[in-house]
């Protein structure tokens, strides 16, 4: 084989083969690095296209070249031997790229399947009756139905209907195959048994791609504890699952190469669910902001950002407090205009009104949220506090207790425990209050529960416990005093209701002063 430079048609052929080779390498690289499928598919087809153009160049030239017209080609300085090697490499790499594209098409990876399935997509498979009594089968089926309904109410969820789910009843299944068949990310399985005195329910959330167990729990409840025991079980389980789904999805969203509004919103809620510290609230608010940068009218992010701004204005007030509340109201109202049937949007507005000390308006917005979803736990528990501020502390227990039943494990549990503690103090039932205040402080040491504890133990004459609560309060909030409570904080004294003012003055402020605060 002569090793001579190539000119003219051979040079053009070499040029097309090099372009084809470059695209072939790009296709293989894209596949190996899990880049989006349009990139490696386009690169593979471009490689094939330029390879064919090079091979067919003499034919193309004969069809389109007019006699007397020059085709400008410069020497590439490539030998015939080099050209042969180049052509062979192009064929091999192009063939590998084409094979990988076809293999990827007919054998999609688990990661590709997972990303294609809707976020927070789940099927509730029929719960297994473990009572040993076939006549109790309806209990397990009923709990399955109820959980399916409750999960479907979660904003952004995709829940397979009962009819489809029950086609798997009594069958031995591979959850990964079920997930793939239904196009979902998660599978919920569980057991249910009714005993003489109550229920025992277990549940586990399984990753539909890997088959890994993501979460498992069991709940026992006695009939003597709860009137509607099945509602208690189902709503608690559904709320816990909601938090778990958000946590799992947020971790996936953190790895997204091009996160969208939904990804940022999931990450925001996951951050908030870590606890209501200032850093977590700020981080969640910023993530909701990034979601809105991606999509200005994304309603869940609007409602979420409104809540974070109100929480910050309330719990960590600073120079920006007034502007935070202006923005919180604007976001809440826009969310309502976009989704007038979303209870979360009305709850966001209710909380803003509460921080603005507009209690009657807060009650109206919060009650609308409860109308839209009677099991919306944030609004249900919040109703108890608003009734205290409205001079109706005795009526608040119905709502705080329902809130505790609906969700005994969420990040705001300390608040609902604190509402019950606060109601007892307002009613001068100091002994009863200490149990709930202590529970609230153990969950999260907030200043309202600690100050209620100081007041209650002072009245009860338990000076050591009063002093211990006072030390903890001042350690966390060194600036705390009755004057600070009345003028600076404005949390639990933002009401002009005469009954409320009489109760807070006599039962809380006067006793805090006696304790040296």
Q: Are strands 158-159 and 213-222 parallel, antiparallel or unpaired?
A: unpaired
User: How many C-beta neighbours within 10 Å does residue 255 have?
Assistant: 9
* DSSP conformational letter for 207: E
From the list 20, 3, 37, 14, the residue with the least C-alpha distance to 92 is 20
Dihedral pair phi/psi, residue 499, rounded to 5° = -65, -45
Which pTM value belongs to this model?
0.62
Distance CA 276, CA 278 (A): 7
Q: CA–CA separation, 197 vs 220, rounded Å?
A: 10
**E strand or H helix at 220, and its extent?**
strand 213-222
Cβ contacts of 370 within 8 Å, gap of 6 or more: 343, 376, 379, 380, 383
Under 8 Å between Cβ of 98 and 48: yes
What pLDDT, on the 0 to 100 scale, is given for residue 75? Answer: 41
Instruction: Report pLDDT for 70.
Output: 45
Buried b (16+ CB within 10 A) or exposed e, 309-333: bbbbbbbbbeeebeebbebbbebbb
Partners of 186 in the β-ladder: 122, 207
Architecture of domain 115-252: 3-Layer(aba) Sandwich (3.40)
CA distance 485 to 260: 42
Q: Please answer whether residues 61 and 9 qualify as being in contact, where contact means their C-beta atoms are separated by less than 8 angstroms.
A: yes
Sign of the Cα torsion 330, 333, 339, 344 reads positive
The span from the CA of 436 to the CA of 61, in Å, is 89
- Going residue by residue through the chain (517 aa), what tens digit of pLDDT does each one get? 444 444 455 555 555 555 555 555 555 555 555 555 455 455 555 556 555 555 555 555 555 555 544 444 444 444 545 545 555 555 555 566 555 555 555 455 444 444 556 666 778 888 888 877 777 777 777 777 777 767 766 666 677 766 677 777 777 788 888 888 878 778 888 887 776 666 777 778 787 777 777 777 777 766 554 445 556 666 666 666 666 666 655 555 555 455 677 778 777 877 887 777 888 899 989 988 988 988 888 888 898 899 999 988 887 877 888 899 999 999 999 999 988 888 889 999 999 999 888 889 999 999 999 888 877 778 888 898 899 989 899 999 988 888 777 665 566 788 888 889 999 999 999 999 999 999 999 888 888 889 999 999 999 999 999 999 999 999 988 888 888 888 754 556 667 788 988 998 999 999 999 999 8
What are the phi and psi torsion angles at 378 (to 5°)? -60, -45
Give the whole-angstrom CA distance, residue 379 versus residue 303.
Answer: 13
| Angstrom distance (rounded) from CA 125 to CA 189 | 6
pLDDT of residue 244: 63
Question: Rounded distance, CA 119 to CA 132, Å?
Answer: 37
Q: Which two tokens stand for residue 131?
A: 């009572």
DSSP designation for 126:
P
């Amino acid at each position: 084989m002569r090793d001579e430079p190539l000119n003219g048609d051979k040079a053009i052929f070499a040029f097309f083969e090099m372009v084809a080779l470059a695209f072939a390498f790009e296709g293989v690289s894209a596949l190996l690095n899990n880049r989006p499928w349009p990139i490696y598919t386009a690169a593979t087809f471009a490689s094939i296209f330029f390879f064919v153009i090079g091979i067919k160049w003499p034919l193309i030239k004969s069809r389109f070249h007019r006699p007397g017209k020059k085709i400008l080609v410069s020497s590439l300085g490539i030998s015939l031997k080099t050209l042969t090697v180049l052509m062979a490499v192009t064929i091999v790499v192009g063939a590998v790229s084409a094979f990988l594209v076809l293999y990827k098409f007919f054998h999609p990876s688990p990661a590709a399947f997972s990303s294609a399935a809707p976020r927070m997509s789940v099927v509730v498979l029929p719960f297994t009756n473990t009572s040993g009594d076939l006549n109790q089968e309806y209990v397990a089926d009923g709990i399955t139905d109820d959980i399916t309904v409750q999960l479907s109410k979660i904003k952004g969820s995709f829940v397979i209907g009962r009819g489809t789910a029950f086609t798997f009843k009594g069958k031995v299944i591979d959850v990964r195959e079920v997930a793939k068949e239904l196009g979902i990310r998660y599978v919920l399985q569980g057991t249910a048994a009714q005993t003489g005195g109550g229920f025992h329910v277990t549940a586990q959330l399984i990753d539909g791609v890997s088959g890994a167990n993501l979460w498992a729990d069991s709940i026992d409840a006695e009939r003597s504890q709860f009137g509607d025991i099945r509602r208690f079980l189902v709503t608690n389980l559904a709320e816990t699952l909601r938090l778990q789904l958000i946590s799992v999805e947020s971790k996936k969203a953190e790895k997204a190469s091009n996160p969208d509004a939904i990804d940022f919103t999931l990450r925001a809620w996951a951050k908030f669910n870590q606890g209501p510290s200032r850093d977590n609230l700020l981080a969640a608010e910023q993530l909701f902001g990034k979601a809105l940068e991606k999509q200005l009218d994304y309603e869940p992010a609007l409602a979420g950002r409104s809540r974070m701004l109100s929480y910050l204005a309330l719990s960590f007030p600073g120079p920006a407090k007034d502007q935070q509340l202006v923005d919180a109201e604007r976001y809440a109202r826009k969310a309502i205009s976009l989704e007038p049937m979303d209870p979360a949007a009305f709850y966001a507005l209710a909380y803003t009104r509460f921080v603005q000390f507009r209690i009657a308006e807060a009650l109206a917005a919060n009650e609308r949220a409860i109308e839209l979803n009677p099991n919306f736990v944030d609004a249900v528990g919040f109703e108890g506090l608003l009734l205290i501020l409205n001079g109706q502390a005795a009526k608040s227990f119905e709502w705080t207790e329902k809130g505790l039943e609906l969700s005994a494990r969420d990040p705001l549990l300390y608040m609902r425990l604190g509402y019950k503690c606060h109601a007892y103090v307002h009613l001068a039932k100091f002994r009863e209050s200490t149990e709930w205040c202590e529970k609230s402080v153990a969950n999260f040491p907030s200043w309202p529960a600690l100050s209620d504890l100081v007041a209650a133990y002072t009245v009860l004459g338990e000076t050591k416990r009063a002093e211990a609560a006072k030390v903890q309060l001042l350690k966390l909030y060194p600036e705390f005093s009755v004057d600070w409570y009345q003028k600076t904080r404005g949390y639990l004294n933002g009401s002009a209701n005469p009954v409320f003012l009489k109760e807070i003055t006599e039962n809380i402020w006067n006793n805090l002063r006696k304790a040296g605060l």
